[in-house]
Each structure stands twice: as structure tokens, then as C-alpha cells.
Structure 1
Amino acid sequence: MADEMVLRAQRFVNTTYNNGATLGISKLAENGQTGWPVMYALTRALQYEMGITSLSDSFGPLTLAKIGELYGKIDESTVPSANFCRIIQSALYCKGYDGGEIDGTYNDRVKAAVVQLNQNMGVSGTYPGSSLWPKVVKGLFNMDAYVTVSNGSDSIRSIQQWLNGRYILRKDFYIIPCDGHHSRDVAKSMLFAIQYELGMADGVANGVFGPGTQSGLRSHTVSNGSTGVWAQLFTAAMILNKRNVPFGNFTSTVQSGVETFQAFSKLPVTGQGDFQTWASLLVSYGDQSRKGTACDGVTMITPARAQALKSAGYQYIGRYLFNPSTTDLPQKAIQPGELATIKEYGLRCFPIFQTWSRSADYFSHNQGTADAFRAIEWAEYHGFKPGTIIYFAVDYDAMDGEVTEYVIPHFRGIMRTIGENSAYGVGVYGPRNVCQRVADAGYAAASFVSDMSSGFSGNLGYPLPTNWAFDQISTITVGSGSGSIEIDNNIASGRDTGQGDFNAGADLGGLDTDLDKAAYRDAMLADIQNYLVSIGVPETGGEGWEPDDDWATLGGISTTKAVDLVLSADWLFTSLARQLKLRKALIQAPVLWELRKLNPLDMAAVAAVRAGLDDDCSTGWGQIHAWVTIDARNYCREQGIINGAPLTDADTPTVWELLTDDETYNIGSVAYLTIYNAHQLGAPRPNLTTSLAQTQALLARYNGTGEDAEKYGRELIGLYNVLENYNMLSRAE
């Protein structure tokens, strides 16, 4: 929502500084909404007014030092100019304070706002009155909040204010948010606070959990009855880790909370704030000297290595189902005979699935669906039994907004696909925030936490996820000689114990692969066009279209577009065909045909259902009715091909919407209908060797029965043959 005074601040910058040109920026949008662009502009304006020639978005050391050097503090007696004051007033408004009309006067309204700002920051004891001191100015020119926001915790806000008030005069300590939320800035400020209390000088204290800090904490165990600053720091760390204890003295209530935290984190339950507990509260990896009972790695488990791991106390081994690279880390994926070795030595294995997964643009609902199909296939190939939890990796520092936009939809696709097509469970590997967000969304039963990456924003300021199974804290080498192996050392919670016995494994031979589009797309398109023209289907228009129809405007789909749409979902056709052990051309052919033959009558039928004039019609890429989809999916459920509750007539509207709006659901339904059609014909389930005659009968049944259906089958078998030709070429590569 637009704020009139923020709008005036934006106009002030634009009119005073030549639409931003003087400041080296573009003209500000005059929308009355605060944000980083406005704060950056005001920061540059402040620098400009102080005579700094190299302007920057950053309120860095030079800007901070310049304020102290020129003014000491800013108030009605030191503010150097009206424009300088207007910048301060504008910043106050952008922070939600009364800036006093942006009139260039450091008046009573501005003074009252500064008093309130200092109080909200928790520094009014150090900075009483209405003057703006340099570090307060720095805190004013950013997007941090100093009041509780977005369901923040008042307890956390009190700790933030306490930290600001106690340490603001230390050289490297800057004002942190007082918004009631833990964050990386708050986590780092806690480490500075501990270092200051350990007696580290300015310039030595650095906010890093290094050897000096660790050594000092070993001498500062707190327990029931402890008071003073160390008790305050410890209880603050507990509260920041979402433990419901009072801030201040170490009481019996705190002791009880510590015992619960230690049990949850698999620490020795002492009830004291000992070093290991301090470490687990302050940094994601905690005490890296802790010896776990789980590990993961990219090296094959040989008999010698299995014995070394077992002798070192390890029970659970994380190994990768698949390695997309044929050259890097040749032993990353589970090797032949490896699981038998793990079983022989009484160890257990939990599987990890990762291809790339190291940037936001990898993640999407479709990619999650594709990954899930591939993970099922590889888990079955290696012989993992039903009930196994597969950990899908998010192997980068995902920002919270990226988790919302990319990672959550990705895991939605994983969960639906794993749930419908297997008896496996879904786990997530990643930073703490990623794991907790995915778990809260209901898309992961367990978390494998990448806590070694302590600098990740998704680890700093976030507690251990509630459903953690494995906590990755250090990289170590175990064993010697032929038994030597480098592993990631993990703490195990007991939530997941992996698998200690394995099936024989599945055969992946002869299955379809993704089409080599670069090699075959153009030739395939030309052959499909030639075939369709030969049976009376031109590039555009044709049967179902009147000569005077505005084909393009009405939404007609050309042969070229239909082919490209099918190729855009090639990953899904491949995944379904491999999962169901049939030829993907059997799924592709009716979908391609129905896309190309889409006509005004089809569109009108869809519009009628949307308007409530009808209950059902053929819809989506495969032009399927909801009622037949319900029958097909129910049959496949009865046969154990897919999972889920039976569908009823009451589900018709929901199924129809999914068929219409979700191409993944629609194409999957085409595949399941193909299997159901074989049942209706009294024919064997389609497989990799289904004859052409049987394939033609299945394609005909897609359109029902009778002469029209028989013609449909004759037309589609030719299209099937073209598609299968190119699929076969890709299989042979």
C-alpha cells in the first residue's frame, strides 16, 4: 500500500538529484512504497551531501567514519544543510517514523522520532536524547525493522535490544534488527558478544566460532543457579533456538529446557550449559569433535572400508543412487556389489538422490517430478525395499524467497510422484531452513541437514529441523591402508535407520531414454508433417475447422507446435514409459494427435464445463474425460500400479480441473488409460515387446469402439511408427 510520505521522499530524491543522475542511479519509481531502491538512493544522497565522491549503495566504513569526523552526532545544532536534514527525514519515514514533513528542519517531530528510534533499537541508555549517533544513522539507512514484525517473538526482540544496548560501543558491533526474528546478523552478534565477554579486544573479536572462542567457552559452563552475563547469553542462545525458557538467570525451568534440547540434539543430557551445548546453540555444526554413528560419502564401501567404519562405531551410510557424470567422482553412485558388502558387515544404507541442484533455477515442479521418477527407478534398480526414505538434495544456500518460489514446488512434484508411483518415502537434504520449510509443507518425512555449511543463510539463525534424521557436521577420514575412507561425519537421531537388507534389483535394459532433440527434432518434425499430410492433416486447419475460421486467434495448434509441446514434455513421457515398462510412443501418439486436432468444438465444450453448463468433457493435452480417467486410475490402483485412495463420481470436478490445468496429471492419465484399455480389450498389459497389431488396437481403444475408433487406430499407428523410430534411435545412442 502506498504511503504519502514515502512518495514525498521519492519525489524529493528525484527533484533534488536530477532524477537520480547526480547519484549515479535511475529515477526512483514514485509509488509510495519503501524498499532497498529508496534506501540505496538515500544512502547515496547522504554520501553526496558529505562530499564523498565515490557513491555507493553500501553504508560502509567510509560513510560511517565521515559522519563521526564531520559532525560527531547529528541533531538540530550539527545538521549541515536543509537537504541533509531532508534525507534524514525521508529515511525516518521509510522506516515508519514521523519525519516532520520533509521540510529540512530538525524539529520537535524529528527529535521525538529519533528518541523513539533509539528506544526501539535498545540503545537509548547509551544514546539518550534526540541526537543521531553514527551507528544509529547506519541502522536507519537499511531495511531492518526495530519493532516486532510478521509474528515475531517479543522475547527475541528483547534479546536483540539487549545485545544492541550492551555492545553498541564496541568497534565492530553494529545495530542489529529488533524485529523478533532470529537471523544471520543476530547469530553473528551473539558470537561477538561471547568474544567480548571472553575479553577479546576490538579487532580480535570477529564473530567467528574459532579456536579461541571454543577454548573460552569450555571454561564457561553454566548450570542451575548461574547468574550474570553468561547466564544471560546462554538463555538468549536457547531462546534464539526456539526453546521456551526465560531470559536471564539459569533457573530450574532453564535446566529442564536444556535437558529437552540436549535430548533432541542427541547431546549428553547433563542439564548444564556445557561446551557441546553452547556449540550446538551457536553454530550449525556444533562441536565438530563429536563422533557420529552415521556418515555419507562419494567412495565405494569395500569390505576393508566397511570393517573400518564398523570398528569406528558407524552404523548408517548415505550413498548416492545415481551419478549424472560419467567422469567426475566415478564411485559417487552405489557400485555393483556394494550394498551386499554393507549388509554383510551389519551396516545400513540410506539413499541420496542428486543431479545438479546447486542453484535456484534447477528447481521446479516438473524437475521434481522428473527427479522422483528417476529416483524410484534407481532405488528399484539397486534393490531398496518399500519404506526406504530417499533424500533429495538442495545443495546450495537457498534464500527464503527461493525456497518459496522454487524448492517447495519442486518437492510438491517429488511428493506426488513418489506417493503415487512407489512405496518409498521422501526426505530432504539441505540447510536447516530448507529442511524445515519442506517438512512444514508436508513434503518430507525426514531431514538430512547440511550443517557443515555454517555460513549458509539457511543455517545461520535457524534451529535444527524438527524432523531431522541425520546432521552432517564434519569431514573426517576413517581407517587406514586399504580401509581408509573420507566421509562426512553425521549425527543420527534415530528417526531413519536406513536399510540393512535389499532386494535383487530391477533390470533397466531396453527402456526408452530422453530424445536427443538436437539430433532428431527437425527430422522427426518433417517426418510427422509428411505423414499427417498423407492422411489429410495439413500443417494448420483441417477437419473440425471451417474455411473462414480465424484459426490462430481461436487457439488452433499447428503440427509444428504440437510436436514441440510433446517434446517439451519428453522427460515426462520418458519417465512414465520407464516406470510402466512400455514404449513411450504409445503415450506420445494420442497426445500429439489430440493436440494437433484441437478444434472449436473442443474449446466450446471446455467453456461449457467452466460455465457450469456441463459436468464433464474431453480436456487437456490428451483430450480425456474425467469419468474415464477415474475408471483408468482406479483400475491401476487395484492392480498396484499406482497408489492412492479410490476415486468416485464426487471427484469428477477435481479430476476435470486437474486434467485441464495440469499437463503432468493429464499425460500421466493417458498412460494409465492405455493400461486400462488393454484390460478392456482383454489383452495383456502393454510392455516393451507389444506387437504392432496390439499397439494399434490399444490406440484405437483410446477413441472408444466402433468404426471411428478403428479409423483412429489406423491413423495413429502410422504416427506411432514415426515417433518410435526416433525413440529407438535415441535408445541406441
Structure 2
Amino acid sequence: MDERVKEVQVWLNETYGGVPGFEKAPIDGKTGWPTIYSLREGLQHELGISALGEGFGSSTKAALSNIINKIRPGYSGNIVKLIKGAFWCKGINPTDFSASYGSELTNAVKTLQSDAGITADGILTVQLMAALFDMSAFVVIHQTKKSELIRSMQQYLNSKYWQELGIMPCDGIYQRDTNTALIYALQKACGVSGANGNYGPGTIAATPTVSVGQKGEVVKIIQYGLFVNGFNKAGDFSGYYSSKIGEEVVAFRKFMKLAPETSTTADLTVIKGLLTSNGNTNRDSIALDTSKQLTDTDIANFKRYGFLVAT
């Protein structure tokens, strides 16, 4: 049990327990979603939002954007206590639990920014508040070399795209947010208009073919994609397509049965295969995936069309 977190929980319930819609925090000294929800609802109340909710959605962000530039050193009030309480729940020490915004809180903001991979200027933003009032972790959960390398990738993606995508976790765990950011990075590198992190027709059309000797952002994304798929284990994220990276592409092609299996070139089939679960759906295949038991007639028809493997 963390006594500081318990102090935050007690204060939340005493301060907002009578507010309609407020869900009381458990008094157990443990950070968890119920306490985060209470912090969010306390913030919503302070922002003048009457219909409280567990989320940190558009209404909360819009209301917060109206005052975020005022929440600076010298500011005081319950919002500061909520921010400090959220820092305690993050495991970051804002020094005290007062209502005054001092240099110690600025240092806590810088710590979170540094952990997230963005410029540590100590200035609060709506995106940083959304990351703070959340269960997202910004330190490695499992202390392994692989986790540290994934975290470095998450921090790099945050450093480039946090203003557009928000601040994603940097916990060393490859997850949906990380994958979305990788696809978004590819779209930006390829000049796809309306980049959204979804590998749609526009991204498919813009995906380049990359070969040994090239360098740049797309190469870096390929290197990240290889790593999270179990290749490029050395963690070469240099952005240079070396002969070694070419060998890793060959290994990926052979593992996935992507013809031509000996090619060191990363084309659409390789790149989309690295970044999406279904890969290039237009590629030739002799296998199919089905959610129902096949009949003899089904099997005969599939074999007639050249399919040999069903899962």
C-alpha cells in the first residue's frame, strides 16, 4: 500500500463525494482504474462539466483546453491537487499534496515528459494531462533488453507524433497504440494525405519498395517492424538498409512463405506483412483460414481453385 495514494483517495472522496455522478475511490492505497476514474471525475467537476463520466473524452479535453495555459507555476486550486494526485498514482513524486503549483510540480511534469520521449520543457498540455490521468505506464514493465528496445521505439514515435496521436504508453509492450503509430509513421513518410494509422488503399498505393543501400524513415519503420515480429533482434533502428537487414527480410519472407523467399527487398507484401495481421491480401496464396468446419464439397471446391491448406 502507498500512503500517498491512500491520501489522494481519501481527499477525493471527501472533496467530491457529494457531487452527483462522482464514483468514490477505494481507500486501499493502490493505483487502479477506479482511482483514475475518480481523478477524472474530480477534474471534470472542476472544469464545470456537470455530467461526470469515467472517460477522458472530447468534452473533457475541450474544457481543459480553455484553461490549460493558466495551469502554470503560481496557479493554485483543486486542479493542482488532482494533478499531483495523478502523479502519485503514476509513481512520480510531486513532493507534496498542496494546492499550489510550484517548481516541484514542474519537475514532475518534466519527468513524465522525459519518460514519454517528448521534449521535457515542464509545460502541461492537454495531451500530457490525458496521459497522466490514465493507467498508461511510461516505464518498462518487464526488465528485458527487448522491452527496453520497444520502449525506445515508443518514445521515438511519441517524439514525432504526440501532437497528432496523443501520448502513447512507453512501457516496453508492443500493443495496438504502438502498431497504429507505426502505420501512421509510414503514412507520413510516404506523404499519404489524411494519415490515420489505418493501412487502407491510399497507404497500400503509396507503400514503396525498399532495397539494400537505402536509408530514411521508411527503412527505420521496416527495422521496427522486423524487430517486433521477432527478427532484427539486435535492434538496428539506424534507418540504414544494410545487407544484414536484407538478410532479416529474407528470414521473414521464408518464415511467412512470401515469394520470392530469397529476395532482400522489402515490398508491399513484406511491409504490410510486418505492420498488419492480414498482410497483403492481394498476394498469391494456397492457404485459407475458415471459422467453420468444411464439408467434402467445400474441400473439393477449394482444391479446384488451387488451395491446399486450410486452418
TM-score (norm 1): 0.40
Correspondence for 1:154 among 148, 152, 160: 148
Q: Which residue of 1 is the match for residue 267 of structure 2? A: 274
Q: Which residue of 2 is the match for residue 11 of structure 1? A: 10
Q: C-alpha distance in 2, partners of 1:257/1:105? A: 54
The 3-state SS of whatever aligns with 1:192 is helix
**8 Å contact 1:72–1:134 — kept in the other structure?**
no
Correspondence for 1:116 among 111, 114, 121: 111
**8 Å contact 1:99–1:113 — kept in the other structure?**
yes
Per-residue Cα deviation, 1:62-84 (whole angstroms, up to 9, x for no partner): 2122222223363214x4x4211
Q: C-alpha distance in 1, partners of 2:197/2:59? A: 21
Q: C-alpha distance in 2, partners of 1:67/1:294? A: 51
Within-5 A mapping of 1:128-167:
128-151=120-143, 153-167=147-161
| AA at the equivalent of 2:211 | S
Q: Which residue of 2 is the match for residue 451 of structure 1? A: none
How far is 1:100 from its partner?
A: 2.3
Return closer, same or farther for 1:167/1:23 CA change in 2, 3 Å cut-off: farther
**8 Å contact 1:23–1:48 — kept in the other structure?**
no
Q: Which residue of 2 is the match for residue 185 of structure 1? A: 177
Larger % of strand: which?
1
**8 Å contact 1:226–1:250 — kept in the other structure?**
yes
Answering whether residue 87 of structure 2 is matched by residue 88 of structure 1, we say no
Within-5 A mapping of 1:550-561:
none
How far is 1:310 from its partner?
A: 3.0
Q: C-alpha distance in 1, partners of 2:23/2:107? A: 33
The 3-state SS of whatever aligns with 1:314 is coil
The 3-state SS of whatever aligns with 1:208 is coil
CA RMSD between the two structures:
1.9
Q: Which residue of 2 is the match for residue 176 of structure 1? A: 168
Q: C-alpha distance in 2, partners of 1:102/1:131? A: 19
| AA at the equivalent of 2:224 | A
How far is 1:22 from its partner?
A: 1.2
Q: Which residue of 1 is the match for residue 198 of structure 2? A: 208
Answering whether residue 302 of structure 2 is matched by residue 309 of structure 1, we say yes
Return closer, same or farther for 1:222/1:130 CA change in 2, 3 Å cut-off: same
Correspondence for 1:51 among 48, 51, 64: 48
How far is 1:196 from its partner?
A: 2.4
Return closer, same or farther for 1:209/1:44 CA change in 2, 3 Å cut-off: same
How far is 1:185 from its partner?
A: 1.3
Q: C-alpha distance in 2, partners of 1:216/1:257? A: 23
Q: Which residue of 1 is the match for residue 230 of structure 2? A: 242
Q: C-alpha distance in 1, partners of 2:95/2:210? A: 49
| AA at the equivalent of 1:261 | F
Q: Which residue of 1 is the match for residue 27 of structure 2? A: 30
| AA at the equivalent of 1:70 | I
The 3-state SS of whatever aligns with 2:248 is helix
How far is 1:302 from its partner?
A: 3.1
**8 Å contact 1:6–1:34 — kept in the other structure?**
yes
The 3-state SS of whatever aligns with 2:283 is coil
How far is 1:55 from its partner?
A: 1.4
| AA at the equivalent of 1:194 | L
| AA at the equivalent of 1:12 | W
Q: C-alpha distance in 1, partners of 2:16/2:236? A: 50
Q: C-alpha distance in 1, partners of 2:55/2:228? A: 28
Answering whether residue 58 of structure 2 is matched by residue 68 of structure 1, we say no
Answering whether residue 215 of structure 2 is matched by residue 227 of structure 1, we say yes
Per-residue Cα deviation, 1:579-627 (whole angstroms, up to 9, x for no partner): xxxxxxxxxxxxxxxxxxxxxxxxxxxxxxxxxxxxxxxxxxxxxxxxx
Per-residue Cα deviation, 1:33-65 (whole angstroms, up to 9, x for no partner): 001111111111111111112211111122122
Q: C-alpha distance in 2, partners of 1:223/1:74? A: 49
Within-5 A mapping of 1:476-487:
none
Q: C-alpha distance in 1, partners of 2:218/2:115? A: 24
Per-residue Cα deviation, 1:532-560 (whole angstroms, up to 9, x for no partner): xxxxxxxxxxxxxxxxxxxxxxxxxxxxx
| AA at the equivalent of 1:40 | Y
Return closer, same or farther for 1:71/1:26 CA change in 2, 3 Å cut-off: closer
| AA at the equivalent of 1:101 | D
The 3-state SS of whatever aligns with 2:66 is helix
Larger Rg: 1
The 3-state SS of whatever aligns with 2:296 is coil
Structure 2, unaligned runs of 5 or more: none
TM-score (norm 2): 0.90
Return closer, same or farther for 1:175/1:108 CA change in 2, 3 Å cut-off: same
Return closer, same or farther for 1:228/1:118 CA change in 2, 3 Å cut-off: same
| AA at the equivalent of 2:297 | T
| AA at the equivalent of 2:305 | A
How far is 1:11 from its partner?
A: 1.1
| AA at the equivalent of 1:62 | S
How far is 1:197 from its partner?
A: 2.5
Per-residue Cα deviation, 1:346-378 (whole angstroms, up to 9, x for no partner): xxxxxxxxxxxxxxxxxxxxxxxxxxxxxxxxx
The 3-state SS of whatever aligns with 1:169 is helix
Per-residue Cα deviation, 1:189-208 (whole angstroms, up to 9, x for no partner): 2122222223344xx22222
Return closer, same or farther for 1:236/1:74 CA change in 2, 3 Å cut-off: farther
Q: C-alpha distance in 1, partners of 2:121/2:72? A: 10
Q: C-alpha distance in 1, partners of 2:159/2:70? A: 18
Q: Which residue of 2 is the match for residue 425 of structure 1? A: none
| AA at the equivalent of 1:213 | T
Return closer, same or farther for 1:119/1:144 CA change in 2, 3 Å cut-off: same
Q: C-alpha distance in 1, partners of 2:123/2:186? A: 29
Q: C-alpha distance in 2, partners of 1:266/1:7? A: 54
**8 Å contact 1:73–1:134 — kept in the other structure?**
no
Q: C-alpha distance in 2, partners of 1:199/1:73? A: 36
Correspondence for 2:92 among 88, 97, 105: 97
How far is 1:89 from its partner?
A: 0.2
Q: C-alpha distance in 1, partners of 2:20/2:55? A: 13
**8 Å contact 1:23–1:41 — kept in the other structure?**
no
The 3-state SS of whatever aligns with 1:22 is coil
Aligned length: 302
Q: C-alpha distance in 1, partners of 2:190/2:65? A: 28
Per-residue Cα deviation, 1:382-438 (whole angstroms, up to 9, x for no partner): xxxxxxxxxxxxxxxxxxxxxxxxxxxxxxxxxxxxxxxxxxxxxxxxxxxxxxxxx
**8 Å contact 2:140–2:171 — kept in the other structure?**
yes
| AA at the equivalent of 1:265 | M
Q: Which residue of 2 is the match for residue 499 of structure 1? A: none
Q: C-alpha distance in 2, partners of 1:178/1:23? A: 35
| AA at the equivalent of 1:292 | S
**8 Å contact 1:86–1:102 — kept in the other structure?**
yes
**8 Å contact 1:73–1:132 — kept in the other structure?**
no
